[in-house]
């Protein structure tokens, strides 16, 4: 795949074969190395397999067929990872003059940010899913059916089956082209690496998904390029987290803002900072209440605490950093169901498996996720049984050596 050392000044079109498509992808990335973008070689030294990477680029290029493609729908999760991934993919498609529209899917309420009729009216030729596991994709396809067209899924959650897909579905996971543990390769970084994304927006998603240790050289690159301090980058993540978790009605406007912003300082000087300050004020109160009122079971090494609606995700992230060798279960009750965020940051308990076992046998429930972070939902009347099953699992499966999964 090496480029020739000497190139004629006269531009000659290569034959339109699969190999030439791959070469275009590689050329695009070699050019990027000279244009103040993150060096590709750093990517390969961080766990990405060069040959599998090229194969994955070919698979994506073949699926999209950009020369013929006119309309693409993007359906993305509405958390930091999903929003920042959608920004980058939208900008990529814009640069290729492909008409695209983003539809955020709230996995909290299982609903679109736009009415389904808007999706049908847009009438995409193909649909790209971001940061949504196969279960969510199956649910969405049940609603929109054949209107989605052939689908591409870019996601880093543990795999399951997509049921009854009316068209072909191409699935790209971290293990498709890397040795990186999936929870440490968020969708935003996958999009950045596969489509040459917007680096500082990607960095926000990386911080939000606790993947900064895996991608330390990338974070340092962004900090240096934009003269940011680590504290400022965390503040950027806090702003996006605040909007995506507490103010879902503002996600679409935030998305547009991030697409247009030329520098991260624009976000730090935006109207969204005021919302972040209110959010953090309540978070501080909830953190104090956790240490005063949280249930702790020392035999199982697990905390349970009830939080305000839409605070469980951020609160569990903060507390699990402070208590990395404990299981932290933060739950909330927005309606008839309880929703939980489950965390343990030392990789010695599989939180995804814990979530599944916690809801085993419970009606109208689901659970799953990554090793260090997972979620579950169930009827409020089953809270006591859920706690019992979580404790029982932990007692029967004590912490062990670091778990690494590539599935």
Region 33-58: mean pLDDT is 87
pLDDT at residue 248 greater than cutoff 70: yes
* H/E element, 35: none
Query: What residues does CATH 3.10.310.40 cover in the chain?
Result: 293-396
Query: What residues does CATH 3.40.50.10490 cover in the chain?
Result: 18-198
Q: What sign results for the dihedral spanned by CA atoms 201, 249, 171, 370?
A: positive
pLDDT of residue 37: 77
The percent of residues in the chain predicted with pLDDT above 90, rounded, is: 74
Assess contact for 359 and 340: CB atoms under 8 A: no
C-alpha atoms less than 13 angstroms from C-alpha of 34 in its C-beta half-sphere? 4
The Cα-based distances of 240 to 76, 255, 332, 345 in angstroms read 15, 10, 21, 22
In this structure, what is the dihedral angle of CA atoms 189, 190, 191, 192, given to the nearest 10 degrees? 50
Question: pLDDT per residue over 32-45, tens digit each?
Answer: 444 577 888 899 99
pLDDT of residue 115: 80
Residues in the chain: 407
Region 157-171: mean pLDDT is 78
Contacts of 14 (CB under 8 A, 6+ apart): 20, 23, 24
**Highest CATH level, class, for 18-198:** alpha beta
Region 96-109: mean pLDDT is 90
Place 161 in a pLDDT band, splitting at 50, 70 and 90.
Answer: confident
pLDDT at residue 27 greater than cutoff 50: no
Least confident piece of the model among 130-144, 207-221, 312-326: 130-144
Tell me which fold the domain 293-396 belongs to. Diaminopimelate Epimerase; Chain A, domain 1 (3.10.310)
The Cα-based distances of 383 to 331, 375, 389 in angstroms read 10, 14, 10
Least confident piece of the model among 120-134, 149-163, 258-272, 367-381: 149-163
pLDDT of residue 35: 56
pLDDT of residue 236: 98
pLDDT of residue 38: 85
The model's pTM: 0.83
Bridge partners (DSSP) listed for residue 330: 305, 341
Least confident piece of the model among 31-35, 53-57, 210-214: 31-35
Q: Supply the mean pLDDT for the chain.
A: 89
Residue 149 is given by DSSP the state -
Question: pLDDT per residue over 147-160, tens digit each?
Answer: 999 999 999 987 67
**Quick one: three-class SS letters along 288-337?**
HHHHHHCEEECCCCEEEEECCCCCHHHHHHHHHHHCCCCEEEEEECCCCE
Backbone angles phi, psi at 62, to 5 degrees: -65, -40
């Amino acid at each position: 795949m090496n480029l020739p050392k000497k190139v004629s000044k006269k531009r000659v079109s290569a034959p339109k074969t699969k190999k030439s498509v791959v070469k275009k992808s590689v050329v695009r990335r070699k050019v990027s190395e000279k244009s103040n973008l993150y060096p590709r070689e750093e990517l390969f030294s961080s766990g990405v397999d060069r040959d599998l990477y090229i194969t994955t680029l070919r698979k994506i290029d073949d699926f999209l067929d950009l020369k013929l493609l006119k309309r693409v729908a993007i359906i993305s999760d509405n958390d930091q990872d999903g929003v920042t991934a959608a920004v980058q993919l939208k900008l990529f498609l814009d640069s290729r003059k492909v008409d695209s529209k983003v539809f955020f899917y709230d996995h909290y309420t299982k609903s679109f940010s736009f009415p389904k009729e808007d999706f049908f009216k847009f009438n995409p030729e193909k649909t790209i899913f971001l940061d949504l596991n196969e279960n969510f994709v199956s649910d969405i396809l049940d609603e929109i059916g054949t209107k989605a067209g052939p689908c591409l899924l870019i996601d880093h959650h543990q795999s399951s089956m997509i049921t009854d897909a009316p068209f072909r579905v191409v699935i790209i996971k971290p293990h498709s082209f890397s040795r990186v543990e999936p929870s440490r390769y968020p969708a935003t970084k996958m999009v950045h690496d596969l489509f040459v994304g917007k680096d500082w927006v990607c960095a926000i998603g990386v911080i939000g998904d606790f993947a900064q240790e895996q991608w330390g050289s990338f974070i340092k690159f962004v900090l240096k390029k934009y003269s940011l301090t680590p504290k400022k980058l965390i503040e950027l993540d806090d702003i996006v987290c605040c909007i995506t978790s507490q103010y879902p009605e503002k996600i679409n406007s935030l998305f547009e803002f991030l697409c247009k912003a030329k520098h991260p300082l624009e976000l730090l000087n935006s109207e969204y900072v005021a919302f972040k300050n209110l959010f953090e004020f309540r978070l501080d109160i909830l953190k104090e209440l956790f240490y005063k009122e949280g249930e702790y079971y020392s035999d199982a090494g697990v905390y349970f605490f009830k939080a305000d609606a839409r605070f469980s995700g951020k609160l569990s992230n903060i507390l699990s950093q402070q208590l990395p060798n404990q299981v932290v279960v933060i739950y909330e009750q927005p309606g008839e169901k309880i929703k939980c965020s489950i965390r343990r940051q030392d990789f010695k308990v599989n939180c995804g498996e814990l979530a599944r076992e916690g809801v085993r046998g419970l009606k109208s429930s689901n659970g799953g996720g990554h090793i260090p972070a997972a979620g579950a939902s169930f009827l409020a009347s089953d809270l006591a049984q859920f706690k019992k099953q979580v404790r029982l699992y932990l007692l029967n499966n004590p912490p062990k050596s670091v778990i690494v999964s590539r599935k």
